[in-house]
Amino acid sequence: MESVGQIQDFFLVRQVQGGNQAAFEQLVHAHDHAVLGLALRITGSQSDAQDIYQEAFLKIYRKLSGFRFECSFTSWIYRIVTNLCLDHLRKARNRRESSTAEVNEGREGYDLLNQISDDRPAHNPEQQVLRRELSEQLSCALRTLTPRERMVFELKHFEGLKLRTVSEILHSSEGSVKTTLFRATQKLRSQLAGFHARKEIFNEARCDV
């Protein structure tokens, strides 16, 4: 069943395909924050995200005449954005450059970040050190993933998308996406194992005080 937002998107797309330029501006306004947010999340760079944002909407405009209404408009534009981001990550990987991932400790489902949950006040200096270290460790761990693994992990845990939607965006089977997500998660857990052990030691020492 189509949502209200999807129905509105389809209406505007048909308007644009009929030559209504104002309708395209409405589409941009409806999705600009999501596009920029996704690009920023994946690249970790405001300037790179802005470049991808501009290129994405240019591609969207050029390709809109060929949109066939076979998937949601959101999935379609996410596919364009993720392809651009994948290209960016591959180029950065080839140049031995790394993008920094913004750590969002509040996103539901991101279990790795729950490793440092604590009921002590947020201003606790020891806990602040642990959280800062996790941020650094996670950024380094994300760089060990392949561009595809990182993309799947970002879309699932940072963007909160369902695996079915991720598979549509990446033009892949849901089973393949599940395998990629599992592989990415295992790599991250392995990379963060040392931090987790240090946190346990910290908690034991704190209990002895």
* pLDDT bracket for residue 63 (50, 70, 90): very high
DSSP code of residue 71: S
> What local confidence, expressed as pLDDT, does residue 168 receive?
87
The H or E element spanning position 149 is: helix 147-153
In this structure, are 2 and 92 located in the same domain? yes
Last residue of a domain, one of 99, 134, 160: 99
Separation CA 141–CA 139 (nearest Å): 5
Q: For the whole prediction, is pTM greater than 0.85?
A: no
Question: How many domains does the structure of the chain reveal?
Answer: 2
Residue-wise pLDDT tens digits, 112-142: 444 433 444 445 665 666 667 766 777 778 8
- Does one domain contain both 67 and 115? no
103-113 mean pLDDT: 39
CATH number of the domain that 135 lies in? 1.10.10.10
* Residue type at 156 in one-letter notation: K
Q: Are residues 209 and 107 in the same domain?
A: yes
Whether 2 and 90 map to the same domain: the answer is: yes
Confirm if 159 and 41 have CB atoms less than 8 A apart.
Answer: yes
Residues 183 and 127 in one domain: yes
Q: Tell me: the pLDDT tens digits for 173-193?
A: 999 999 999 999 998 888 887
Residue range of the domain that includes 131: 101-209
pLDDT of residue 28: 94
Phi, psi of 170, deg, nearest 5: -90, 5
Is a pLDDT exceeding 90 seen at residue 17? yes
Instruction: Answer yes or no: do 74 and 25 share one domain.
Output: yes
DSSP 8-state class, residue 116: G
